[in-house]
Protein backbone atom coordinates (compact mmCIF):
# COMPACT_ATOMS: atom_id res chain seq x y z
CA UNK A 1 0.00 0.00 0.00
CA UNK A 2 1.41 3.35 -0.98
CA UNK A 3 1.87 5.91 1.79
CA UNK A 4 0.13 9.26 1.67
CA UNK A 5 2.68 11.88 0.70
CA UNK A 6 3.17 15.04 2.75
CA UNK A 7 0.13 14.32 4.90
CA UNK A 8 -2.42 15.76 2.48
CA UNK A 9 -4.17 14.50 -0.61
CA UNK A 10 -3.72 15.71 -4.14
CA UNK A 11 -7.33 16.88 -4.17
CA UNK A 12 -6.36 19.78 -1.93
CA UNK A 13 -3.29 20.45 -4.06
CA UNK A 14 -4.77 20.22 -7.53
CA UNK A 15 -8.43 21.12 -7.22
CA UNK A 16 -11.21 19.27 -8.93
CA UNK A 17 -13.89 20.97 -10.98
CA UNK A 18 -14.41 23.33 -13.87
CA UNK A 19 -12.79 26.66 -13.27
CA UNK A 20 -12.30 29.12 -16.08
CA UNK A 21 -13.47 29.43 -19.64
CA UNK A 22 -10.88 30.80 -22.04
CA UNK A 23 -10.89 34.47 -22.83
CA UNK A 24 -12.11 35.27 -26.32
CA UNK A 25 -9.46 37.98 -26.67
CA UNK A 26 -6.14 38.67 -24.99
CA UNK A 27 -7.65 41.44 -22.84
CA UNK A 28 -10.96 39.75 -22.01
CA UNK A 29 -11.58 39.16 -18.30
CA UNK A 30 -11.69 35.65 -16.90
CA UNK A 31 -15.14 34.51 -15.79
CA UNK A 32 -15.82 34.18 -12.08
CA UNK A 33 -14.83 30.78 -10.67
CA UNK A 34 -17.86 29.01 -9.16
CA UNK A 35 -16.74 28.01 -5.66
CA UNK A 36 -18.72 24.77 -5.71
CA UNK A 37 -16.87 23.52 -8.75
CA UNK A 38 -13.37 23.43 -7.30
CA UNK A 39 -11.85 21.73 -4.28
CA UNK A 40 -11.71 24.18 -1.36
CA UNK A 41 -8.30 25.81 -0.89
CA UNK A 42 -6.41 25.41 2.36
CA UNK A 43 -7.19 27.94 5.12
CA UNK A 44 -6.26 31.43 3.93
CA UNK A 45 -6.01 30.35 0.28
CA UNK A 46 -8.36 31.08 -2.60
CA UNK A 47 -8.55 30.46 -6.32
CA UNK A 48 -7.91 33.67 -8.26
CA UNK A 49 -7.03 34.62 -11.82
CA UNK A 50 -3.57 35.96 -12.67
CA UNK A 51 -2.10 37.00 -16.04
CA UNK A 52 -0.46 34.14 -17.92
CA UNK A 53 2.60 36.36 -18.49
CA UNK A 54 3.21 36.60 -14.74
CA UNK A 55 3.53 32.82 -14.32
CA UNK A 56 6.86 31.14 -15.04
CA UNK A 57 8.00 27.50 -14.98
CA UNK A 58 9.83 25.99 -12.03
CA UNK A 59 13.43 24.76 -12.12
CA UNK A 60 12.39 21.79 -9.95
CA UNK A 61 9.89 20.49 -12.50
CA UNK A 62 10.96 16.85 -13.13
CA UNK A 63 9.08 16.67 -16.40
CA UNK A 64 11.21 17.90 -19.30
CA UNK A 65 9.47 16.39 -22.35
CA UNK A 66 6.12 17.85 -23.39
CA UNK A 67 4.44 16.34 -26.43
CA UNK A 68 3.49 19.11 -28.86
CA UNK A 69 0.56 17.06 -30.14
CA UNK A 70 -0.74 16.43 -26.61
CA UNK A 71 -0.39 20.12 -25.73
CA UNK A 72 -2.40 21.09 -28.82
CA UNK A 73 -5.12 18.61 -27.83
CA UNK A 74 -5.22 20.06 -24.33
CA UNK A 75 -5.32 23.60 -25.72
CA UNK A 76 -8.35 22.65 -27.82
CA UNK A 77 -10.01 21.18 -24.73
CA UNK A 78 -9.27 24.37 -22.77
CA UNK A 79 -10.84 26.47 -25.51
CA UNK A 80 -13.99 24.33 -25.26
CA UNK A 81 -14.17 23.56 -21.54
CA UNK A 82 -11.85 25.96 -19.75
CA UNK A 83 -9.16 24.95 -17.23
CA UNK A 84 -10.59 22.20 -15.04
CA UNK A 85 -8.31 22.68 -12.03
CA UNK A 86 -6.27 25.67 -10.86
CA UNK A 87 -2.51 25.87 -11.16
CA UNK A 88 -0.54 25.82 -7.90
CA UNK A 89 2.06 28.59 -7.71
CA UNK A 90 4.30 30.30 -5.19
CA UNK A 91 5.08 34.03 -5.14
CA UNK A 92 8.40 35.15 -6.61
CA UNK A 93 8.71 38.94 -6.47
CA UNK A 94 5.93 40.39 -8.59
CA UNK A 95 5.51 37.11 -10.47
CA UNK A 96 4.55 33.54 -9.65
CA UNK A 97 6.51 30.28 -10.03
CA UNK A 98 4.69 27.07 -10.88
CA UNK A 99 4.52 24.27 -8.35
CA UNK A 100 2.02 22.14 -10.26
CA UNK A 101 0.29 22.52 -13.59
CA UNK A 102 3.00 23.38 -16.12
CA UNK A 103 1.28 21.38 -18.85
CA UNK A 104 -1.97 23.31 -18.29
CA UNK A 105 -0.02 26.59 -18.27
CA UNK A 106 1.67 25.78 -21.59
CA UNK A 107 -1.62 24.71 -23.16
CA UNK A 108 -3.37 27.85 -21.84
CA UNK A 109 -0.86 29.97 -23.75
CA UNK A 110 -1.52 27.98 -26.92
CA UNK A 111 -5.25 28.47 -26.34
CA UNK A 112 -4.74 32.23 -26.13
CA UNK A 113 -5.86 32.71 -22.54
CA UNK A 114 -4.93 36.04 -21.00
CA UNK A 115 -5.33 34.74 -17.44
CA UNK A 116 -5.22 31.41 -15.64
CA UNK A 117 -6.78 30.35 -12.31
CA UNK A 118 -4.21 29.77 -9.56
CA UNK A 119 -3.88 28.95 -5.89
CA UNK A 120 -0.95 30.84 -4.38
CA UNK A 121 0.89 28.74 -1.82
CA UNK A 122 3.97 29.35 0.30
CA UNK A 123 6.38 26.43 -0.20
CA UNK A 124 10.12 25.86 0.15
CA UNK A 125 12.25 24.18 -2.52
CA UNK A 126 11.91 20.69 -1.05
CA UNK A 127 8.12 20.93 -0.86
CA UNK A 128 8.00 22.21 -4.44
CA UNK A 129 10.03 19.28 -5.76
CA UNK A 130 8.00 16.77 -3.75
CA UNK A 131 4.70 18.21 -4.94
CA UNK A 132 5.85 18.32 -8.57
CA UNK A 133 6.97 14.69 -8.38
CA UNK A 134 3.73 13.60 -6.74
CA UNK A 135 1.56 15.35 -9.31
CA UNK A 136 3.42 13.85 -12.25
CA UNK A 137 3.74 10.36 -10.75
CA UNK A 138 0.07 10.12 -9.83
CA UNK A 139 -0.93 11.37 -13.27
CA UNK A 140 1.68 9.01 -14.86
CA UNK A 141 3.07 11.93 -16.85
CA UNK A 142 6.78 11.17 -16.36
CA UNK A 143 8.81 8.90 -18.60
CA UNK A 144 11.13 6.45 -16.77
CA UNK A 145 14.22 8.68 -17.02
CA UNK A 146 12.38 11.78 -15.80
CA UNK A 147 11.07 9.77 -12.87
CA UNK A 148 14.57 8.49 -12.03
CA UNK A 149 16.06 11.97 -12.30
CA UNK A 150 13.34 13.34 -10.03
CA UNK A 151 14.19 10.78 -7.34
CA UNK A 152 17.91 11.48 -7.77
CA UNK A 153 17.35 15.24 -7.42
CA UNK A 154 15.27 14.74 -4.28
CA UNK A 155 17.93 12.48 -2.74
CA UNK A 156 20.99 14.52 -3.70
CA UNK A 157 19.67 18.03 -3.17
CA UNK A 158 18.16 17.35 0.24
CA UNK A 159 20.47 14.54 1.46
CA UNK A 160 17.72 11.95 1.79
CA UNK A 161 18.04 8.18 1.91
CA UNK A 162 16.30 6.15 -0.78
CA UNK A 163 13.76 4.94 1.78
CA UNK A 164 12.93 8.46 2.99
CA UNK A 165 12.67 9.77 -0.56
CA UNK A 166 10.35 6.87 -1.40
CA UNK A 167 8.08 7.65 1.56
CA UNK A 168 7.91 11.32 0.54
CA UNK A 169 6.36 10.43 -2.83
CA UNK A 170 4.35 7.40 -1.70
CA UNK A 171 6.49 4.77 -3.42
CA UNK A 172 8.36 1.72 -2.13
CA UNK A 173 12.12 1.79 -1.68
CA UNK A 174 12.43 -0.93 -4.34
CA UNK A 175 10.63 1.23 -6.91
CA UNK A 176 12.98 4.13 -6.24
CA UNK A 177 16.11 1.94 -6.22
CA UNK A 178 15.24 0.30 -9.52
CA UNK A 179 14.39 3.63 -11.12
CA UNK A 180 17.77 5.04 -10.09
CA UNK A 181 19.55 2.10 -11.75
CA UNK A 182 18.30 3.38 -15.11
CA UNK A 183 20.56 6.43 -14.75
CA UNK A 184 23.55 4.07 -15.12
CA UNK A 185 22.59 3.47 -18.74
CA UNK A 186 24.53 5.12 -21.55
CA UNK A 187 23.00 8.50 -22.58
CA UNK A 188 21.78 7.12 -25.91
CA UNK A 189 19.85 4.39 -24.11
CA UNK A 190 18.34 6.88 -21.70
CA UNK A 191 17.06 8.75 -24.76
CA UNK A 192 15.47 5.55 -26.07
CA UNK A 193 13.65 5.17 -22.74
CA UNK A 194 12.55 8.82 -22.79
CA UNK A 195 10.94 8.35 -26.19
CA UNK A 196 9.40 4.95 -25.45
CA UNK A 197 11.59 3.05 -27.91
CA UNK A 198 12.87 0.77 -25.15
CA UNK A 199 10.86 -0.49 -22.18
CA UNK A 200 12.06 -0.55 -18.59
CA UNK A 201 12.13 -4.35 -18.85
CA UNK A 202 14.56 -4.17 -21.78
CA UNK A 203 16.69 -1.64 -19.89
CA UNK A 204 16.99 -3.81 -16.78
CA UNK A 205 18.30 -6.70 -18.86
CA UNK A 206 20.73 -4.50 -20.82
CA UNK A 207 22.12 -3.17 -17.53
CA UNK A 208 23.61 -6.64 -17.07
CA UNK A 209 26.25 -5.65 -19.63
CA UNK A 210 29.31 -3.96 -18.10
CA UNK A 211 30.13 -1.14 -20.50
CA UNK A 212 28.43 1.59 -22.52
CA UNK A 213 29.65 0.08 -25.82
CA UNK A 214 28.07 -3.29 -25.08
CA UNK A 215 24.88 -1.62 -23.88
CA UNK A 216 24.60 0.43 -27.06
CA UNK A 217 25.21 -2.65 -29.21
CA UNK A 218 22.47 -4.57 -27.41
CA UNK A 219 19.98 -1.69 -27.59
CA UNK A 220 20.56 -1.15 -31.31
CA UNK A 221 20.00 -4.85 -31.92
CA UNK A 222 16.79 -4.81 -29.85
CA UNK A 223 15.44 -1.86 -31.82
CA UNK A 224 16.51 -3.21 -35.21
CA UNK A 225 15.09 -6.72 -34.67
CA UNK A 226 12.13 -5.79 -32.45
CA UNK A 227 13.22 -8.15 -29.67
CA UNK A 228 11.02 -8.76 -26.65
CA UNK A 229 12.45 -8.89 -23.12
CA UNK A 230 13.08 -12.66 -23.14
CA UNK A 231 14.84 -12.44 -26.50
CA UNK A 232 16.89 -9.57 -25.09
CA UNK A 233 17.97 -11.80 -22.20
CA UNK A 234 19.28 -14.34 -24.71
CA UNK A 235 21.06 -11.59 -26.65
CA UNK A 236 22.72 -10.28 -23.49
CA UNK A 237 23.82 -13.81 -22.61
CA UNK A 238 25.53 -14.16 -26.00
CA UNK A 239 27.22 -10.77 -25.62
CA UNK A 240 28.42 -11.69 -22.13
CA UNK A 241 29.83 -14.93 -23.50
CA UNK A 242 31.66 -13.25 -26.38
CA UNK A 243 33.21 -10.66 -24.04
CA UNK A 244 34.55 -13.21 -21.55
CA UNK A 245 35.57 -16.27 -23.54
CA UNK A 246 39.22 -16.79 -24.48
CA UNK A 247 40.41 -16.86 -28.11
CA UNK A 248 40.76 -20.63 -27.85
CA UNK A 249 37.86 -22.89 -28.69
CA UNK A 250 35.21 -22.42 -25.99
CA UNK A 251 34.61 -25.28 -23.62
CA UNK A 252 31.57 -27.44 -24.24
CA UNK A 253 28.48 -26.14 -22.54
CA UNK A 254 29.80 -22.58 -22.09
CA UNK A 255 26.93 -21.10 -24.12
CA UNK A 256 24.39 -22.90 -21.96
CA UNK A 257 26.18 -21.67 -18.83
CA UNK A 258 26.09 -18.09 -20.08
CA UNK A 259 22.38 -18.43 -20.81
CA UNK A 260 21.80 -19.74 -17.30
CA UNK A 261 23.81 -16.85 -15.87
CA UNK A 262 21.58 -14.21 -17.45
CA UNK A 263 18.46 -15.95 -16.14
CA UNK A 264 19.99 -16.10 -12.66
CA UNK A 265 20.77 -12.37 -12.94
CA UNK A 266 17.17 -11.74 -13.96
CA UNK A 267 15.93 -13.65 -10.91
CA UNK A 268 18.32 -11.67 -8.71
CA UNK A 269 16.86 -8.44 -10.05
CA UNK A 270 13.31 -9.62 -9.33
CA UNK A 271 14.29 -10.59 -5.77
CA UNK A 272 15.95 -7.19 -5.26
CA UNK A 273 12.77 -5.48 -6.45
CA UNK A 274 10.68 -7.62 -4.10
CA UNK A 275 12.79 -7.03 -0.98
CA UNK A 276 14.13 -3.55 -1.76
CA UNK A 277 17.72 -4.51 -0.93
CA UNK A 278 20.77 -6.28 -2.40
CA UNK A 279 20.19 -9.98 -3.07
CA UNK A 280 22.78 -12.54 -4.20
CA UNK A 281 21.54 -15.72 -5.88
CA UNK A 282 24.09 -18.52 -6.27
CA UNK A 283 22.90 -21.40 -8.44
CA UNK A 284 24.59 -24.51 -9.82
CA UNK A 285 22.89 -27.66 -11.07
CA UNK A 286 19.72 -27.16 -9.08
CA UNK A 287 21.44 -26.19 -5.84
CA UNK A 288 22.64 -22.95 -4.33
CA UNK A 289 21.79 -20.20 -1.88
CA UNK A 290 20.00 -16.88 -1.64
CA UNK A 291 21.64 -14.10 0.38
CA UNK A 292 19.47 -11.11 1.35
CA UNK A 293 21.29 -8.11 2.81
CA UNK A 294 19.94 -5.97 5.65
CA UNK A 295 21.55 -3.00 7.35
CA UNK A 296 19.84 -2.62 10.73
CA UNK A 297 17.18 -4.25 12.89
CA UNK A 298 14.40 -2.23 11.28
CA UNK A 299 15.55 -3.29 7.82
CA UNK A 300 15.56 -6.95 8.90
CA UNK A 301 12.08 -6.61 10.35
CA UNK A 302 10.88 -5.06 7.07
CA UNK A 303 12.32 -7.97 5.05
CA UNK A 304 10.79 -10.55 7.37
CA UNK A 305 7.40 -8.91 7.01
CA UNK A 306 7.70 -9.01 3.21
CA UNK A 307 8.63 -12.70 3.44
CA UNK A 308 5.61 -13.35 5.67
CA UNK A 309 7.68 -14.37 8.69
CA UNK A 310 5.96 -13.69 12.02
CA UNK A 311 8.56 -12.68 14.64
CA UNK A 312 6.14 -12.72 17.58
Distance of CA 77 to the CA centre of its chain: 26
117: enclosing H helix or E strand: strand 115-120
Given 42, 45, 69, 102, which residue is catalytic? 102
d(CA 267, CA 261): 10
d(CA 102, CA 131): 12
Beta bridge partners of 281: 290
Beta carbons within 8 Å of 69's beta carbon, 6+ residues apart: none
Buried b (16+ CB within 10 A) or exposed e, 263-297: eebbebbebbeebbbebebeeeeeeeeeebeeeee
Active site residue 102: yes
Task: Determine how β-strand 95-100 pairs with β-strand 55-56.
Answer: parallel
- 3-state SS assignment for residue 304: helix
- 3-state SS assignment for residue 252: coil
DSSP 142: -
| Residues known to be catalytic | 102
Amino acid sequence: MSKPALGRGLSALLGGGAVAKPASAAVSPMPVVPAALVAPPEPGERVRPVPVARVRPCAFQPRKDFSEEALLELANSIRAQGILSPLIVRPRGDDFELIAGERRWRAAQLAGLAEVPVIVREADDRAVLELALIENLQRENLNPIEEAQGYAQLIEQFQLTQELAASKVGKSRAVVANALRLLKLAPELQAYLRHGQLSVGHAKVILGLPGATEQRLAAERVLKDGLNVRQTEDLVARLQQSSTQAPAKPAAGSKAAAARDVHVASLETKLQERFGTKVALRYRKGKGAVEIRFYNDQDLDRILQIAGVNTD
